[in-house]
A = this chain, B = another copy of it.
């Protein structure tokens, strides 16, 4: 890939079955605890939630704040740097939305059940 194509880099940090949803919620709520994320995303396992959060943290997209308490309390929030993702996420969301319509046009309504 002729050295200048970094689309994959962007893809890398967004890919992972749960990352978009996780980001969506943290962007929306500003700050969320581990357990709140679990509640908001009922089907995710702790393992998946942990690994996805760690990857986002590694990329400096989210912040992890641990309170020295028992039982533990950990809060996640978007970093200032992470907020720079907003335009990209918006573009992707918008393109995705119109693409669903396009698929609908060319293949018919049958595709709509796919993501509900």
Contacts and interface: CB of A to CB of B under 8 A. Distances in A.
Interface of A: 1-11, 13-15, 20-21, 24, 59-60, 81, 84-85, 87-89, 91-97, 99-100, 102-103, 106, 115-116
A2 B29 CA distance: 13
Chain A interface mostly helix, strand, loop or mixed? helix
Contacts of A11: 11, 14-15, 20, 92, 96
A89 to B, nearest CB: 6
Given A15-B15, A103-B59, A6 B88 contact: no
A9 B115 contact: yes
Given A5-B21, A5-B24, A10 B102 contact: no
